[in-house]
Amino acid sequence: MNIEQLTYIVEVAKVKSLAEAAKTLNISQSALSQAITKFEAELDIKIFNRTRSGTIPTKEGDLLIAKSQNALKAIYQIEDEAKQMNHLNDLLRITVIPGLIGPIVDTYLDFKKMTPP
């Protein structure tokens, strides 16, 4: 199981069409169908009923899709938090002549008060 497979089934469930999901995901319909079939075989459950009128989740598929949406949401939150943590490492470094430290620190502190966190 991988993130890509979870993304695929969530998108197919959302649009109820392999063709539309394939366009959104920028892959071929055949590749998408094969990935889902492989995922179904890996889990030994049928996720979707494929018909001429659309691709409809089974009862088991509905449960798996809901859990996949939650998992993807958590993964995206982790990625966002990691990006924010990386920005915390951005430091302002100032090199000054010893006599000018006071005015520079005062200016920096005034600027920091004006800038929202």
SS (H, E, C) the chain: CCHHHHHHHHHHHHHCCHHHHHHHHCCCHHHHHHHHHHHHHHHCCCCEEEECCEEEECHHHHHHHHHHHHHHHHHHHHHHHHHHHHHHCCCCCCCCCHHHHHHHHHHHHHHHHHCCC
Task: Taking residues 32-44, report their average pLDDT.
Answer: 95
Which pLDDT value is given to residue 91? Answer: 64
Lowest mean pLDDT among 14-28, 36-50, 60-74, 93-107: 93-107
What pTM was estimated for this model as a whole? 0.69
Which pLDDT value is given to residue 84? Answer: 76
* pLDDT(8) > 90: yes
Task: Taking residues 106-117, report their average pLDDT.
Answer: 76
Which pLDDT value is given to residue 94? Answer: 65
Q: Is there a contact between 103 and 117 (Cβ–Cβ < 8 Å)?
A: no
Task: Taking residues 103-113, report their average pLDDT.
Answer: 78
